[in-house]
Amino acid sequence: MSAPMTALVWTGVMLLGGAGAVCRFLVDRTVSARHTRGFPFGTLAVNLTGAFLLGFLGALALDRHTALLAGTAFVGSYTTFSTWMLETHRLGEERRIGPAVGNVVASVALGLIAAWLGMSLGCRL
């Protein structure tokens, strides 16, 4: 890859990665403000919409640079595995085992469904 193309890809990763992080912050805050029951609904919403989006993008015939920018830079910074694990751990520390297990089960099961729905939609385009 040429130096100008490399610089363009790196610039895209920085910009789209930043945009994904800002979107994650906004979605998490918006959802969490509406659901104050102590369950991490904001993180769940972010990860489910991210799974849908990544499934959708994965079904499209994107060139490798576009896939890198859309999938890794934007969706990678938008979704948050580490926050999901930390919130689940905190629920366990608070002895809220039901919500902790519910968070794991809902995140995995609904995430797989969301990714499948995104891929199904992407395949139809």
For residue 110, the enclosing domain spans: 3-123
Residue list, annotated binding site for Na(+): 76, 79
- Where does the pLDDT of residue 27 fall: very low under 50, low under 70, confident under 90, or very high at 90 and above? very high
Q: How many domains does the chain have?
A: 1
d(CA 110, CA 52): 10
- Where does the pLDDT of residue 36 fall: very low under 50, low under 70, confident under 90, or very high at 90 and above? confident
AA identity, residue 100: A
CB 68, CB 13: distance < 8 Å: yes
- Where does the pLDDT of residue 80 fall: very low under 50, low under 70, confident under 90, or very high at 90 and above? very high
Q: List pLDDT tens digits, range 89-98.
A: 999 999 999 9
Pick the more confident residue, 5 or 49. 49
d(CA 43, CA 29): 9
d(CA 83, CA 40): 9
Residue list, annotated binding site: 76, 79
d(CA 99, CA 96): 6
CA-wise closest residue to 59 among 122, 103, 124: 122
Pick the more confident residue, 45 or 2. 45
pTM of this prediction exceeds 0.85:
yes
Please give the helix or strand (H or E) that residue 60 lies within, else none. none
Q: State CA 59 to chain mean position distance.
A: 16
